[in-house]
């Protein structure tokens, strides 16, 4: 399954170099990183690292995890290894250290079990930002796997206990993306 993910994503990044272009951070990351109580950050499924680069510029030490060696090579060329630890790993099995991070971001990637592991990896008072695609009849992407789409209100339900919800939104994705899709984002503080 994950070898397939790796092949799929390495092929995508190799064939579509636009996917490796430097992109602006998510509005939610831009808005809520400031509330992190310290400077240790984890970027899950970081790709070529739009959030890793953004957070490193803000002074964070970032662990940046992805399965694609192609994306991670691009990321390495953009960052100072003193502030970014690039980790090639399969997030199906990757277990971050408990209570280790002040800030965790996970954007445009859905693995519900990984959200649970991210919660464990967050320090008390730490900030978690999750943003990804949700099911919607108006979605344009033809081959979306329904398992990788959030249901309406799903993130809000997931963080209903043990967190302060700082923001929850359902919205249309950014214009730089190929297909118009509905997304969901949440920023929470762990109690």
Ligand X SMILES: C[S@@+](CC[C@H](N)C(=O)[O-])C[C@H]1O[C@@H](n2cnc3c(N)ncnc32)[C@H](O)[C@@H]1O
The footprint of ligand X on residues 163-182 (CB under 6 A) is none
Check residue 66 for interaction with ligand X (CB under 6 A).
yes
- As beta bridge partners, residue 168 has 186
Contacts 24+ apart (CB under 8 A), 141-148: 141/178, 141/179, 141/181, 144/181, 148/110
- As beta bridge partners, residue 84 has 62
**Binding range to ligand X, per CB under 6 A, among 30-38, 88-96, 122-130, 156-164:** 88-96
Total site size for ligand X, rule CB under 6 A: 17
**Binding range to ligand X, per CB under 6 A, among 27-35, 85-93, 117-125, 139-147:** 85-93
Q: Count CB neighbours of 22 within 10 A.
A: 11
**Binding range to ligand X, per CB under 6 A, among 89-97, 119-127, 166-174, 182-190:** 89-97
**Binding range to ligand X, per CB under 6 A, among 77-85, 86-94, 117-125, 135-143:** 86-94
Position closest to ligand X via CB:
47
The footprint of ligand X on residues 29-48 (CB under 6 A) is 45-47
Cα 37 versus chain centre, distance? 19
- From 107, 139, 173, 184, residue interacting with ligand X (rule: CB under 6 A): 107
What is d(CA 97, CA 54) in angstroms, rounded to the nearest whole number? 23
Show the CA angle centred on residue 16, arms to residues 105 and 109, nearest 5°: 25
Check residue 92 for interaction with ligand X (CB under 6 A).
yes
Check residue 187 for interaction with ligand X (CB under 6 A).
no
Nearer to ligand X, 92 or 164 (CB): 92
Query: Shortest approach of ligand X to residue 124 CB, angstroms?
Result: 25
Cα 52 versus chain centre, distance? 10
Q: From start to end of the chain, where are the E strands?
A: 40-44, 61-66, 84-88, 101-107, 122-133, 163-172, 182-190
- Interaction site with ligand X (CB under 6 A): 2, 5, 9, 45-47, 50, 66-68, 71, 90-92, 107-109
């Amino acid at each position: 399954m994950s070898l397939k993910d790796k092949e799929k994503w390495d092929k995508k990044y190799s064939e579509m170099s636009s996917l490796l272009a430097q992109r602006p951070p998510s509005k939610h990351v831009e808005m809520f990183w400031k509330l992190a109580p310290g400077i240790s950050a984890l970027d899950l499924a970081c790709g070529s690292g739009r959030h890793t680069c953004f957070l490193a510029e803000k002074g964070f030490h970032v662990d940046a995890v992805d399965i694609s060696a192609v994306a991670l090579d691009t990321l390495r060329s953009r960052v100072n290894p003193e502030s970014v630890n690039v980790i090639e790993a399969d997030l199906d099995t990757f277990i971050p250290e408990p209570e280790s991070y002040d800030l965790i971001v996970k954007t445009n990637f859905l693995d519900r079990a990984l959200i649970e592991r991210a919660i464990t990896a967050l320090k008390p008072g730490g900030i978690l930002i999750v943003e990804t695609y949700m099911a919607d009849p108006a979605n344009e992407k033809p081959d979306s796997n329904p398992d990788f789409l959030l249901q309406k209100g799903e993130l809000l339900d997931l963080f209903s206990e043990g967190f302060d919800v700082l923001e929850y939104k359902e919205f249309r994705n950014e214009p730089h993306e190929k297909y118009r899709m509905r997304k969901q984002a949440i920023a929470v503080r762990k109690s």
